Amino acid sequence: MSTVDQIKDRLSITDVISQYIEVIPAGKNFKARCPFHNEKTPSFFISPDRNSYYCFGCNAKGDIFSFVEQFEGLDFKGALKQLALRAGVELSNYGREKDSPKDRLYEVLEHATVFYSNELNKNKETITYLTQRGLSRETIELFRVGFAPNEWRSVSTYLKDKGYSDEEVAGAGLTKISEKNNSTGGAYDRFRGRIMFPIADSGGRIIAFSGRILHDDGVQAKYVNSPETILFDKSKVLFGIDKAKFAIRRMNFAIIVEGQMDLILSHQCGFSNTVAVSGTALGDELITGDKIVTNLGLIERLTSNILFALDSDEAGIRAALRSASIGLNLGMDVKIARIPDGKDPADFLLAHTKEEWWEVIRKSEHIVLFQTENVLRSMTDEHKRVKAIRETVVPYLLDIGEPLDQAHFVKEVAKRTGVGEDALRAQIKEGVLRRGNLTDTPTSENKKTLQIPPKIDLLRRRIQGLYFWQLDSKEQYLSPDELKERIGSIVGREFIEEFLIIDESKRNEIVFEAEILFGSKDEKNFKEEVDELFGNFEAEYLQDRFSKNMAQIHTAERTGETEKVQQLLAECQSISIRIQQLKNNRTQTYGNK
């Protein structure tokens, strides 16, 4: 039996996938909301019999290897190593004849990690420093902390003896190659006299290092990080993500700290859902143009809740605020912890109990409220306070994409500061226009057509599949006429037939999909699933209408069409009430389960 087959034989696909996302039974199969595209109605199916998965929404499919590769942004060997470790399968000689240049670099970095770790064990001064900073020997070993001797060629000589070329070692970011013929000519070590913190990808493979100077002479940089290499892109990894990912999934929030010691002490104290930005940087997208999952992209797949606990100094606060803006723009819920006495997390954890740190985490505030409180604490002059609200709070309100969430925080800011809600909304509208998110081009009213935004087209497809399945089925749970009525109540009766238009070549496909999604239900569960599907579609459809109405309001205000403005405002109010009703119904339904 091959290595791959041994792993598949020992690991259930359901168990592997359920570590990453929530799965629920669906007859003899399982289903989930797909982690690879945005959806509210589950279209991702897992078949234990076939040991595979398939998403009817985005066509993602494969086995445990392809899932881990796609979810974590790993290559096949990265997924293989991770799953082999879990399955207890030996990989010592797997694929040695197929080693690529990248594989060689992984080997170089692994050997370097072992070298630095061994050097640390020889260096009592460094061990004393680390233990005085609160690290236990077990934690030091767990995070594979090491030490780079203060010599020009210690690691380069070690790796050369292992059979790696100067170019390979330099390509891994460990050395520099000097063109000058001097005492340090040729390859020399990038890290010297530094405590070494290995940075791993989400699969646990070492891809870079961050080195902290042991003796600070005021001349050398306190930290030196690996340069970007073919393995290390600082926007695609977070320090500690390999050890934190499943805790983030389990606890449904991620704590983001700044430094290595912040991260390691957090894990040592039990906060294993913590990652650090030290040596890395948060990207402002989830997936890059070359389809690589970024660091925030991986966190977003595990949770939509992030909490920044960065240093309390000015630089730390600035970094937190920038990162918070990125998180909000990616649709995440973002909070910031206020650490007492200007401490960083490591100093606080060293001086306080883990219960006291949990209290700091518990009292963290949403970024909008965090900034609002900063203004209230620092500004006493009313005019300056209003200006500060406009400059430091409104931009974060603008970053909140969900209108109801935005409305909630507008109300909170108004209540705390005394600034009127209407004034805040006007500032938000002005900010939206500055960002170019709205157009002043009037929409034509001569020809009304059904407008289905692309992001909810999947829900439309589900409803179409449900309709044609019931239309063709001898045993109907819901009559086609009843389904038409429900469609018409959302999009308008005049658009029912247009809503149901499909490409006939895809009819069998969407009917089959609906049969898988709904066919295994008893009557009660079937109706609950249908209610959820229509509820999700209506909420998204209304949300789109609300956004378009707001754009038309701006246009009408500029052209002086007062009556139209009032009409659109009344419609927006009605839409908001209906969206809230849908949310309340959903909360009541799932709260009682």
Q: What share of the chain in percent tops pLDDT 70?
A: 88
> Is the same domain home to 211 and 261?
no
Determine the pLDDT at residue 10.
Answer: 92
How deeply is 416 buried, as exposed, middle or buried, from its count of CB atoms within 10 A (0-12, 13-18, 19+)? middle
pLDDT at residue 64 tops 90: yes
User: Is 386 inside any structural domain?
Assistant: yes
User: Is 321 inside any structural domain?
Assistant: yes
Q: What is the DSSP string of 101-120?
A: HHHHHHHHHHHHHHHHHHHH
Q: Give the domain-ending residue among 302, 330, 363.
A: 363
Q: For residue 374, what is the DSSP state? A: H
Q: Cα separation of 169 and 150, whole Å? A: 18
Token couple for 201: 């990808």
Determine the pLDDT at residue 360.
Answer: 94
Query: Phi and psi for 307 in degrees, rounded to 5?
Result: -130, 120
Residues facing 175 on adjacent strands: 189
> Is the same domain home to 287 and 340?
yes
Q: What is the DSSP string of 399-432?
A: H---HHHHHHHHHHHHHHH---HHHHHHHHHHHH
With bands split at pLDDT 50, 70 and 90, how would you rate the model's confidence at 549? confident
With bands split at pLDDT 50, 70 and 90, how would you rate the model's confidence at 156? very high
Domain span including residue 173: 100-225
pLDDT at residue 581 tops 70: yes
- Give the CATH number of the domain where residue 346 resides: 3.40.1360.10
What's the alpha-carbon Rg for the chain, to the nearest Å? 28
pLDDT at residue 161 tops 90: yes
Degrees to nearest 5, angle at CA 134 with 132 and 138: 110
Token couple for 567: 């009409």
Q: Higher-confidence residue: 256 or 282?
A: 256
pLDDT at residue 290 tops 80: no
**Among 174, 308, 298, residue whose Cα is nearest residue 242:** 298
pLDDT at residue 75 tops 70: yes
Q: Cα separation of 103 and 528, whole Å? A: 50
User: Is 93 inside any structural domain?
Assistant: no
Beta strands 365-366 and 305-308, pairing class: unpaired
**Among 208, 242, 239, 213, residue whose Cα is nearest residue 225:** 208
> Is the same domain home to 319 and 381?
no
User: Is 341 inside any structural domain?
Assistant: yes
Q: Cα separation of 290 and 463, whole Å? A: 33
Degrees to nearest 5, angle at CA 45 with 250 and 544: 80
CB 207 within 8 A of CB 200: yes
576-590 mean pLDDT: 75
Q: How many domains does the chain have?
A: 5
> Is the same domain home to 169 and 207?
yes
> Is the same domain home to 245 and 315?
yes
- Give the CATH number of the domain where residue 41 resides: 3.90.580.10
277-284 mean pLDDT: 68
Q: Higher-confidence residue: 38 or 413?
A: 413
Determine the pLDDT at residue 41.
Answer: 78
Q: What does the pLDDT look like over 319-378, one tens digit per residue?
A: 778 778 878 887 889 999 988 877 889 999 999 999 999 999 999 999 999 999 989 988
Determine the pLDDT at residue 414.
Answer: 92
Determine the pLDDT at residue 348.
Answer: 93
Query: Phi and psi for 252 in degrees, rounded to 5?
Result: 65, 30
User: Is 403 inside any structural domain?
Assistant: yes
User: Which of 168-182, 235-249, 538-552 tops mean pLDDT?
Assistant: 235-249
Of 154-168, 395-409, 436-450, 546-560, which gets the smallest average pLDDT?
A: 436-450
Determine the pLDDT at residue 434.
Answer: 66
Mean pLDDT value across the chain: 84
User: Is 92 inside any structural domain?
Assistant: no
Q: Cα separation of 385 and 10, whole Å? A: 62
Q: Give the domain-ending residue among 87, 120, 140.
A: 87
> Is the same domain home to 541 and 521?
yes
What residue type is assigned to position 184 of the chain? T
Q: Cα separation of 112 and 146, whole Å? A: 9
Q: What is the DSSP string of 26-66?
A: ETTEEEE--TTS--SS--EEEETTTTEEEETTT--EE-HHH
Q: What does the pLDDT look like over 173-201, one tens digit per residue?
A: 999 987 654 454 578 999 999 999 999 99
- Give the CATH number of the domain where residue 163 resides: 3.90.980.10
Determine the pLDDT at residue 550.
Answer: 81
With bands split at pLDDT 50, 70 and 90, how would you rate the model's confidence at 94? low
Q: For residue 331, what is the DSSP state? A: T
User: Is 34 inside any structural domain?
Assistant: yes
Q: Higher-confidence residue: 328 or 138?
A: 138
Of 86-95, 319-328, 412-421, 469-478, which gets the smallest average pLDDT?
A: 86-95
User: Is 235 inside any structural domain?
Assistant: no
> Is the same domain home to 73 and 126?
no
pLDDT at residue 444 tops 70: no
Q: Higher-confidence residue: 383 or 229?
A: 229
> Is the same domain home to 71 and 104?
no
Degrees to nearest 5, angle at CA 316 with 315 and 317: 95
Q: Cα separation of 395 and 325, whole Å? A: 8
Determine the pLDDT at residue 321.
Answer: 80
Token couple for 148: 């780079």
Query: How far apart, in Å, are the Cα atoms of 81 and each of 4, 7, 84, 89, 272?
Result: 11, 10, 5, 9, 22
How deeply is 538 buried, as exposed, middle or buried, from its count of CB atoms within 10 A (0-12, 13-18, 19+)? buried
**Among 293, 296, 304, 301, residue whose Cα is nearest residue 253:** 304
Helix (H) / strand (E) containing 19: none
CB 359 within 8 A of CB 332: no
pLDDT at residue 443 tops 50: no
399-423 mean pLDDT: 90
With bands split at pLDDT 50, 70 and 90, how would you rate the model's confidence at 17? very high
With bands split at pLDDT 50, 70 and 90, how would you rate the model's confidence at 450? low
Determine the pLDDT at residue 439.
Answer: 38
> Is the same domain home to 258 and 316?
yes
Q: Give the domain-ending residue among 225, 254, 278.
A: 225
Residues 6+ apart with CB under 8 A from 332: 296, 300, 304, 305, 306
To the nearest 10 degrees (0 to 180), the angle between helices 367-378 and 314-329 is 140
CB 172 within 8 A of CB 229: yes
CB 533 within 8 A of CB 462: yes
> Is the same domain home to 310 and 375?
no
> Is the same domain home to 256 and 379?
no
With bands split at pLDDT 50, 70 and 90, how would you rate the model's confidence at 442? very low
Token couple for 269: 């104290």
Q: Cα separation of 530 and 537, whole Å? A: 11
> Is the same domain home to 490 and 420?
no
To the nearest 10 degrees (0 to 180), the angle between helices 457-472 and 523-558 is 140
